[in-house]
Amino acid sequence: MPRETRKSYKANISYRYSFGCNYPPKKNVDEKGMRLFYTGDIGQFHADGCLEIIDRNKDIVKLQHGEYVSLGKVEAGLSVCPYPDNIMLHADPFHSYCVAIVVASRITVEDWAAKQGIAFSDFSDLCVKEKTIKEVQASLIKEAKKACLEKFDIPAKIKLLSEPWTPESGLVTAALKLKRDVIKKAFSEDLSKLYAS
């Protein structure tokens, strides 16, 4: 990378992270005196020296056989599926596959059940039926293949939920971003069952 680009990059990053966030990132100085910022972003340099932020470090998990799964990327690829209202992918480093907790879209799932002639007493009853879970999972696999996701990225098992995640429930932020740690804690038993069975 040309020296001018490095200086420009350093100045831009310094400005962005010094003035653009509410908290200061960790700083470090290397042996040449260059300040480095640890922001948790994963970047990629282009041939012209530009830096593109492509992911977040906390959203990447290494599976048992060494494959890296980008949770946010997979969730974005699966979110185009019509059945989930919300989805959280979970990858355990001690297993070779991912699982997902899926909040079902009430209207879409009930319409599908009506067309299939599936009887149910209420929506939560419909979400625990084996046929419903298989249909949602098949749809997720289909969308994952369209998004060119790897086999290890695709959730092997899912837990279908009937209750939506709202900021009031504390499972998502006001901007409807997942609170991954809170969700993992709230559904830890379900996640354990998905890996156990």
* 16-29 residue pLDDT tens: 444 444 445 555 66
Which residue numbers in the chain have pLDDT < 50? Answer: 1-2, 4-23
* pLDDT reported for residue 20: 43
- Tell me the three state secondary structure of residue 115: helix
Q: What are phi and psi of 165, to 5 degrees?
A: -90, 120
* pLDDT reported for residue 28: 65
Contact 118, 96 (CB under 8 A): no
- In whole angstroms, what is the distance from residue 174 CA to residue 52 CA? 27
The string of DSSP letters for 47-63 reads: TTS-EEEEEEGGGEEE-
Spatial strand order of the sheet with 98-104 comes to 84-91, 98-104, 155-161
Instruction: Supply the pTM of this predicted model.
Output: 0.71
| Whether CATH 3.30.1300.10 fits 60-196 | no
* pLDDT reported for residue 16: 44
Residue extents of the structural domains in the chain: 3-57, 60-196
